Structure 1
Amino acid sequence: MTTTGMVTDLVRQIAGEHAEIVGLMGEGIDPHLYRPTTQDSARLMQADFVLYSGLKLEGQMGAALELARKQGRQIVAVTDGLPPDEIRYPSGAVGHPDPHVWHDPVLWGECARRVAMALGEYDPANATDYSRRAAEVHAECTRFHEHAAQVLGAIPEQQRHLVTAHDAFEYFARRYGLTVHSVQGITTESEPGLQDTNALVDFLVDQKIPALFVETTVNPDHLKAVIEGAAARDWEVSIGGTLYSDAMGAPGTREGTYLGMLDHNVVTIARELGSTWEGPLSFFDVAEDSKMETENHTTAAPKLE
């Protein structure tokens, strides 16, 4: 059993046919606020193995996970084992780590190795398969990162400000040289205060920031107050697009996969912040172009002299 969509996607890629994966949280579910139902708790008790994101992301599930652990279930956080110096501890959230690690594909690739190790210890007969698949996931995350670094690196310096509903993108921003400004902190469990809203309005007006981004799992009303506050000071701020922060898109869509979700965010941010990258913005367009070039090269008829 898995918790968030990002963890479910990761575990499915690594476990493959060796396990039946059941994810608790679907499209648009905020893991900060998710409370397990009675049925969820029963399913946790029946699961052989439970993998969750960790770093207090699933804050409302702590008691249920601990009870399952005491009952002999294998409970593993996919973020366990990441280098301590890679984990963010925001100054405004004492003792509370920033759990949004998946927005950094380099770190998420490392989480793949943690999943393979945990599954291999539980199921040694298939450990080689788990390790091989984790290496493939890690390599794909690395390729995605290299592409994203090119696309986002071409955003002009004065436009490298990412304004969002809550502080979910610091790992992403750290990896790609952006600065995040948000109306809420790293968790959505508390409502933003008037002081937070006014501070963000001041920043938008003073720096002439033209756009902000809504998130699929966060109430957009919080940002409406910011937009209205800026308008009252004669500065127009628009919605630059919707980002996937704490949940993936609908199953069966590209955004319903981890890399598809991240790719959507990269393309949306690059377009709105004015990236000057001249190649394809989407990682998948690059991959498709590369595939077509390979096929054309392979099928090209030999030249007769």
Structure 2
Amino acid sequence: MIRRTFLAALAFVAALPAVAMAEAPLKVVATTGMIADAARQVGGDQVEVKGLMGPGVDPHAYRQTRTDILAMTRADLVLWHGLYLEAQMEDFFDDLGRKRTVVAVADGLDTSKLRAHDDYADKYDPHVWMSPALWRDVVIEVQEALTKARPEAADEFAANTQAFLAEIDQLDAYGKQALASVPENDRVLVTAHDAFGYFGEEFGYDVLGVQGISTQSEAGLNRIGELVDTLVDQQLKAVFVESSVSDRSMRALIEGAAAEGHDVGVGGELYSDAMGEPGTYEGTYIGMLDHNITVIAGALGADVPERGMNGRLSAGF
């Protein structure tokens, strides 16, 4: 009797690590803040997400640190963007993929919906998070990756995904309504680099970046001159700086227009390649785009809610 009791207790103790392992959240590492947010929204309590690139970080130039490498080698799942956004890290991800589950969540998008890259003939513009319609597809890719990693939570991931997609649809509808309120001749978005191409296509705006799709491309004097001429000729009143890119080129535009007798101001700071501070509304994908839509529409003459579509923006435009 004593022996049977002892063996039963021993079996119970031996089973504890397995139970704990089954209940432990999936350790997920994501490169950009936008992907990290998608993983949290879809994964809920089933995931523990670490984002590598925080506020103000430029993913075009980011290189993994030793701490990043350690986190990724210990992760259950690594999510990166793809589409040549993290070009400098691709060899690392290829190698890591032999040891860990690594998924490029934007690489599976329908290429017929993508813009050609202006520097590489066989690549595409990676800034798909600027289009809520395209980001829906990325969220679904995140759902599929999490489901493969933890199939027993498939129903929970599916429900969370549908709830998040509904929020993205609401955001898209708000963007279309707010940005259509800007006078048609003023629907021109001048930014530091060409990160808003998909945004322009979705909402009907001309987008002019000083630099190309990558912040590593050069902003030549000719390009500055061309944009100054555009600002003056079209009597545009505002340009926009970006949270993850130096405002040096935008100051050059303002000064160049002033030299031509035309007053141009900064319409506001936009989130292009990185979100806002963690723990804030702008530190989420919905808040990031709500901020951009509200700031752009307000600066260009639309009557929009000062605190955005849900009244949650931390500062008015």
Structure 1 residue 131 displacement after superposition: 1.4
Tell whether the 8 Å contact from 2:294 to 2:306 is kept in structure 1 after alignment.
no
Residue number in structure 1 paired with 2:24? none
- 1:98-177 aligned within 5 A: 98-177=125-204
Tell whether the 8 Å contact from 1:165 to 1:184 is kept in structure 2 after alignment.
yes
Give yes or no for the alignment of 1:40 onto 2:68: yes
Residue number in structure 1 paired with 2:92? 64
Q: Deviations over 1:164-215 (max 9, x none)?
A: 0100001111100011011000110133111111111111111111110000
Residue number in structure 1 paired with 2:108? 81
* Partner of residue 10 from structure 1, selected from 34, 38, 42: 38
Q: Could you say what secondary structure the match of 1:76 adopts?
A: strand
Q: Percent identity?
A: 44
Residue number in structure 1 paired with 2:50? 22
Cα distance in structure 2, aligned partners of 1:86 and 1:196: 27
Change (3 A) 1:83 1:281: farther
- 1:262-281 aligned within 5 A: 262-276=289-303
Tell whether the 8 Å contact from 1:41 to 1:64 is kept in structure 2 after alignment.
no
> Alignment RMSD, CA only?
1.6
Structure 1: tracts of 5 or more residues without a match: 287-305
Cα distance in structure 2, aligned partners of 1:195 and 1:23: 38
Structure 1 residue 281 displacement after superposition: 7.0
Change (3 A) 1:276 1:17: closer
Q: Deviations over 1:136-175 (max 9, x none)?
A: 1111101111111111111111100001010000111110
TM-score by length of 1: 0.89
Tell whether the 8 Å contact from 2:80 to 2:103 is kept in structure 1 after alignment.
yes
Structure 1 residue 8 displacement after superposition: 0.5
Cα distance in structure 2, aligned partners of 1:134 and 1:226: 42
The alignment covers a number of residue pairs equal to 284
Structure 2: tracts of 5 or more residues without a match: 1-28, 313-317
- 1:251-266 aligned within 5 A: 251-266=278-293
Q: Could you say what secondary structure the match of 2:236 adopts?
A: coil
Cα distance in structure 2, aligned partners of 1:174 and 1:281: 25
TM-score by length of 2: 0.86
Cα distance in structure 2, aligned partners of 1:240 and 1:26: 24
Structure 1 residue 78 displacement after superposition: 1.8
Tell whether the 8 Å contact from 1:155 to 1:273 is kept in structure 2 after alignment.
yes
Residue number in structure 2 paired with 1:242? 269
Tell whether the 8 Å contact from 1:166 to 1:188 is kept in structure 2 after alignment.
yes
Q: Could you say what secondary structure the match of 1:201 adopts?
A: helix
Q: Deviations over 1:53-105 (max 9, x none)?
A: 221111222122112112x2111122133222111114454223111111111
Q: Could you say what secondary structure the match of 1:22 adopts?
A: strand
Tell whether the 8 Å contact from 2:118 to 2:213 is kept in structure 1 after alignment.
no
* Partner of residue 309 from structure 2, selected from 283, 293, 296: 283
- Residue type of the alignment partner of 2:74: Q
Structure 1 residue 285 displacement after superposition: 3.2
Runs of 4+ aligned residues of structure 1 deviating over 6 Å after TM superposition are none
Tell whether the 8 Å contact from 2:194 to 2:207 is kept in structure 1 after alignment.
yes
* Partner of residue 243 from structure 2, selected from 216, 223, 234: 216
Structure 1 residue 280 displacement after superposition: 7.2
